[in-house]
Structure 1
Amino acid sequence: MTRLLAGMAFFMLVTAQATAETPYDRKLEQAVMRIVAAKMGDIRGGFSYAQTPQLIRAPSVPFAAPREEASAGAKDAG
């Protein structure tokens, strides 16, 4: 019984350390974003990172009925 309790305590200790979150620094993230954006420069193209590009839709293609295959008669003859 003590082994079971000790095992459960060990398991809870290990999982508690695994699920603990690391401290998050928002100022560090913002600084990294500025540095990376400056280094990327013209690679990014003409869009801002906060702007959503408006995509152009392709023109609709008229529907055409499927054509009959040339080898369709060969299947029936065989």
Structure 2
Amino acid sequence: MFLLAQYLQVAQGCSPLEAGLRTLSWTAAPMVVAPLAGLVAPRIGARVLLPAGPTALAAGPAWLALAAEGSGYAAP
């Protein structure tokens, strides 16, 4: 997360507040999802939830990478 915030500020020209707001959803997600996962785990089992969490967290940076690729900044 630190490197993503630095990238947003240095390469994209965001202010510290803008960079924080852009990464807020990714950093606040565990605070929202953790209590819900605690309620759902006894019903469906932790075996399903354990790989789902990192997969969902990896989807965010992957989406940012794909969005940056289409913007022309990733062009050689």
Provide the TM-score with structure 1 as the length reference: 0.28
**Which structure has the higher relative contact order (CA within 8 Å, separation 6+)?**
2
**CA radius of gyration, larger in:** 1
Structure with more helix by fraction? 2
Provide the TM-score with structure 2 as the length reference: 0.29
